[in-house]
């Protein structure tokens, strides 16, 4: 067997090293946004199987928001760090896209060149040989160089597992957390134990990956070091002390350069977060358009979730309006929603129609079971009842010419703004295709009861193919608009403006 390491193999190995670091660092940013993991169908406080915070949470719903649980991580460790979940998600998505592309090219070349025989076992003898190698490593010795062609049997099994089992496992559990996937293929998400099962398994996969990297790098430097370094840097050839020394210097310099690059990405992002959001969300939008935008909710055909799946606990992100934020909402709440109005508006032609809560409930009812997911990671399954957005907006007449988006506003304010300016009224825009989905509704009941105050009473948006930041609570106005760029900071919603999320909330 050819034991040389061709240039394409070495280049892809280096690129994989860079991308894995970006994936792990951005993954830490995402985990720090909700530093808890569950195996359940809800995220009830005190039922976590693992948490990375000492905070004890109140058991009562609606008094503590998920944003209050966020941890700030130093930019040296996470990408980008300092409570930037939006940018962390974008960097994770960007890294995934290039990591998968790099992997596909690697697999194709591996089989095209015949080098797959180095890592894919072709004989059952690999297992007893691997066991012998493991015993030697456990005794702090190493197999003779004759065992390596270029890898020993234990390494061969390890690489096969990582490339053909662990990497696909991470991809599958990762996409299982997408609301677009869940609304289209609910059985797939349920197969992993629901959103929290997929999230926990994805984390376990990360731990295994990290352990493999540590072991892999350690073996490079501890076992037949001179051969390894010459192979990895020069691709093979004569093993001499001089060439090994040159390879060691190049390898260490490369590792230092990559580490500097990882950290520079964090500080580049934090230096101008809007710029970083435009770049990263722009790149990842390509993946959304290619793989997710065509997936529409199953609607009435969805059978995977039943009332038995309904969660006992539902987190919230945002607190109900206060007297200072909306005296009208407070007064209506105290009078059983008497006098509260929801305005339907054509903002292109300056036409409005005002509905009361009773008017809303007189429209055709639509009910279904769906899992709500927050971009921070928590989830809860409920039965939602309300009126479809298509039926609702028909109350205004035909859709006006030039309308490209539907924009909803809240009686409440944003929880915080990314640049610490005064909080602004919460709003979100969705495109017309998303608005027309069967599970895009204005909900006024949850689990057969009137909507709770902390979950958006008396009416809130539900857009099941998107994460929760598109589900405006305490809705005050819904309107046709030509372009969301003319509202707020022009990014399509409060969470896009205040946390630099992507307009497309399908993953």
Helix (H, G, I), strand (E, B) or coil at 3: coil
Looking at residue 265, its pLDDT comes to: 98
Could you give the CA distance from residue 185 to residue 297 in angstroms, rounded to a whole number?
8
Beta bridge partners of 443: 386, 460
Reported as a single tens digit per residue, the pLDDT across 146-164 is: 777 788 899 999 999 999 9
Tokens representing 324 are 């200072």
Tokens representing 137 are 């490593």
Could you give the CA distance from residue 320 to residue 333 in angstroms, rounded to a whole number?
11
Reported as a single tens digit per residue, the pLDDT across 366-385 is: 999 999 999 999 999 999 99
Regions in the chain scoring below 70 on pLDDT: 1-3
Do 503 and 492 meet the contact criterion of CB atoms below 8 Å apart?
A: yes
Looking at residue 287, its pLDDT comes to: 92
Q: Where are the beta strands (DSSP E) in 347-455?
A: 351-356, 366-373, 379-388, 405-413, 425-431, 440-446, 449-450
Looking at residue 6, its pLDDT comes to: 94
Reported as a single tens digit per residue, the pLDDT across 111-152 is: 999 999 989 999 999 999 999 988 988 888 887 887 777 888
Looking at residue 304, its pLDDT comes to: 82
Reported as a single tens digit per residue, the pLDDT across 219-259 is: 888 888 888 899 899 998 888 999 999 999 999 999 999 99
């Amino acid at each position: 067997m050819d034991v040389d390491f061709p240039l394409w193999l070495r280049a892809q190995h280096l690129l994989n090293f860079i991308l894995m670091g970006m994936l792990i660092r951005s993954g830490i940013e995402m985990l720090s946004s909700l530093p808890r993991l569950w195996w359940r169908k809800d995220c009830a406080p005190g039922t976590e199987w693992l948490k990375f915070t000492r905070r004890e949470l109140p058991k009562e719903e609606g008094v503590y928001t998920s944003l209050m649980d966020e941890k700030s991580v130093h930019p040296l460790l996470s990408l980008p760090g300092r409570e930037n979940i939006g940018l962390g998600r974008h960097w994770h998505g960007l890294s995934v896209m290039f990591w998968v592309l790099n992997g596909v090219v690697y697999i194709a070349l591996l089989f095209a060149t015949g080098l797959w025989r180095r890592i894919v076992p072709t004989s059952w003898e690999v297992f007893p040989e691997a066991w012998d190698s493991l015993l030697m490593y456990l005794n702090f010795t190493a197999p003779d160089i004759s065992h390596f062609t270029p890898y020993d049997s234990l390494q061969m099994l390890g690489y096969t597992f990582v490339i053909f089992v662990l990497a696909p496992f991470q991809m599958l559990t990762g996409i299982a957390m997408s609301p677009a996937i869940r609304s289209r293929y609910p059985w797939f998400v349920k197969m992993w134990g629901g959103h929290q099962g997929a999230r926990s398994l994805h984390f376990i996969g990360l731990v295994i990956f990290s352990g493999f990297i540590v072991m892999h790098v350690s073996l490079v430097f501890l076992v037949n070091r001179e051969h390894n370094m010459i192979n990895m840097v020069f691709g093979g050839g004569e093993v001499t002390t001089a060439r090994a020394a040159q390879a060691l210097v190049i390898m260490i310099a490369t590792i230092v350069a990559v580490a500097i690059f990882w950290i520079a990405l964090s500080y580049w992002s934090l230096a101008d977060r809007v710029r970083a959001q435009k770049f990263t969300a722009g790149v990842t939008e390509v993946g959304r358009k290619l793989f997710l935008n065509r997936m529409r909710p199953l609607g009435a055909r969805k059978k995977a979730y039943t009332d038995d799946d309904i969660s006992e606990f539902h987190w919230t992100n945002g607190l109900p309006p206060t007297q200072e934020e909306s005296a009208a909402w407070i007064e209506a709440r105290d009078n059983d929603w008497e006098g509260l109005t929801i305005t339907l508006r054509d903002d292109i032609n300056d036409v409005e129609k005002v509905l009361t809560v009773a008017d809303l409930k007189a429209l055709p009812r639509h009910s279904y079971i769906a899992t709500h997911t927050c971009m921070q990671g928590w989830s809860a399954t409920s039965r939602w009842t309300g009126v479809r957005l298509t039926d609702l907006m028909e109350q205004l007449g035909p859709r006006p010419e030039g309308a490209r988006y539907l924009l909803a506003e809240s009686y409440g304010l944003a929880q915080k703004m990314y640049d610490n300016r005064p909080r602004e009224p919460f709003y979100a825009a969705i495109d017309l295709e998303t608005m027309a989905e069967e599970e895009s509704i204005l909900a006024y009941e949850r689990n057969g009861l009137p909507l709770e105050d902390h979950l958006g009473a008396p009416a809130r948006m539900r857009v099941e193919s998107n994460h929760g930041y598109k589900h405006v609570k305490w809705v005050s106005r819904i309107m046709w608009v030509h372009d969301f760029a003319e509202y707020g900071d022009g990014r399509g919603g409060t969470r896009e403006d205040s946390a630099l999320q992507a307009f497309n909330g399908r993953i």
